[in-house]
Amino acid sequence: MLPSVPNSFGRLSEAYLSAFLALDGKSNPLSLPARQSYLVVLVDGLGVANIKAAGGHAGFLNQKLNASKSLFSGFPTTTATSLASFATGKQSGEHAFIGYRVFDREVSKPINLLNDLGAEFPPQKYQNLETISEQAAEAGKNVLTVGPGEYEASGFTQATMPASKYLAAKTLQERFEIARAEISKPGALVYLYIPELDQLAHRFGTQSQNWLNTIEDLDSVLAAFTKSLPKSAGAILTADHGVIDVAQTSHVYLEQFESMQDLAMIGGDPRVGFLYFAAGIDLVAKGDAIQADLGSLVEVVTVQDLVDAGWYQPLSQSAQKVAPDLVLLPKGDRVVYHREFAKVKSMSMIGQHGGLSKAEWEVPLLVF
């Protein structure tokens, strides 16, 4: 039985869109006030639960959180999907970035939608919707992205922010300084991306000193930045998903189960396994066999089950081409790996996301 989708929450897909609309004082889904310029800060991997748990290190963020709304990140709770929704204003299923790793049946190849887009996998093939950056540029706005230099020319950036000028900056302080200068000019729509917390969570966990030191740095920089925010400018902060720490004892290794012996490919994330099988297989029988085999460790569902429950929107033609045959939803704090497909580095991750838990899907909407 799938849990209910949190319909009382706003959507992450409405955040960047609302900032764009608010530039012209238009009504917008998140009711942001009209401003001459807007900054949208997206912190990768900073869920509401993560902020609350780091209360002693993030006093400013927690103070703002107490008086703020939360957003539903969408499903799966993974960067590729969430940022595609953020960039297009559309929910998962409407765009084809329905997970982190998928299988393209047309070319019979697996694709990491975050990292593999380029010459072999053209970004426009997998993301053909008009983006908010394009809408804003057409409306005469100065559309800018501020983030680490390594993402500037990536296929994912081309797919999600094609009409945005990229301004590279290494440190948090430098990124916010650039953003402050740009939003002091009317008509600017600035997107500031912060990947460090997610990276540290995967490697060390959200309770590690590495992670806590970095949220403390962000908290300090953000508090100072908001004090000098131009009166004509608006700023919001959100995230693409939260993170939970998972112990090695909660790993489920799929190759140990008889029902997985004919698996063609596994995608998604460890918290949401996308299963692909050879064409013609009886998927009802296969789903029943997997559920019987894995018992209480996972729930086996179809993409249509997820659509019917509201976690996905009805899939577009592009999304259907990469959709899995079955989806594994690990129960509790478990993750699933198949050691014939998984990278060793992935199996060493502590911080995880992708699943249906509130800690993974509830993200902040802080308005400054």
Domains and CATH numbers, the chain: 10-96+111-245+356-367 (3.40.720.10), 248-351 (3.30.1360.180)
The pLDDT-based confidence of 8 (bands split at 50, 70, 90) is: confident
Cis peptide leading into 76, omega within 30 of 0? yes
CA distances from 341 to 26, 81, 347, 350 (A): 48, 21, 11, 19
Size (the chain), residues = 368
Q: State mean pLDDT over 300-324.
A: 97
The pLDDT, as a whole number, for residue 243 is 98
Tens-place pLDDT, residues 28-75 = 999 999 999 999 999 999 999 999 999 999 999 999 999 999 999 999
The label of the residue with tokens 């960067």 reads 79
Backbone Cα Rg of the chain: 20
- Please give the Cα distance from 33 to 260 (Å, whole number): 52
The pLDDT, as a whole number, for residue 293 is 97
pLDDT above 90 for 229: yes
Q: State mean pLDDT over 213-229.
A: 97
Average pLDDT of the chain, as a whole number: 97
The pLDDT, as a whole number, for residue 358 is 97
The pLDDT, as a whole number, for residue 200 is 98
Q: State mean pLDDT over 338-349.
A: 93
The answer to whether 107 touches 329, Cβ cutoff 8 Å, is no
Q: State mean pLDDT over 218-224.
A: 98
Q: Using DSSP, how many helices (H) and how many strands (E) does the chain show?
A: 15, 18
- Report the percent of the chain where pLDDT is more than 90: 97
Q: Closest Cα to residue 101, out of 326, 266, 213?
A: 266
The answer to whether 362 touches 47, Cβ cutoff 8 Å, is yes
Whole-structure pTM value: 0.96
The pLDDT, as a whole number, for residue 187 is 98
- Contacts (Cβ under 8 Å, ≥6 apart) of 140: 187
The answer to whether 239 touches 51, Cβ cutoff 8 Å, is no
Q: Closest Cα to residue 110, out of 119, 121, 118?
A: 121
Tens-place pLDDT, residues 176-194 = 999 999 999 999 999 999 9
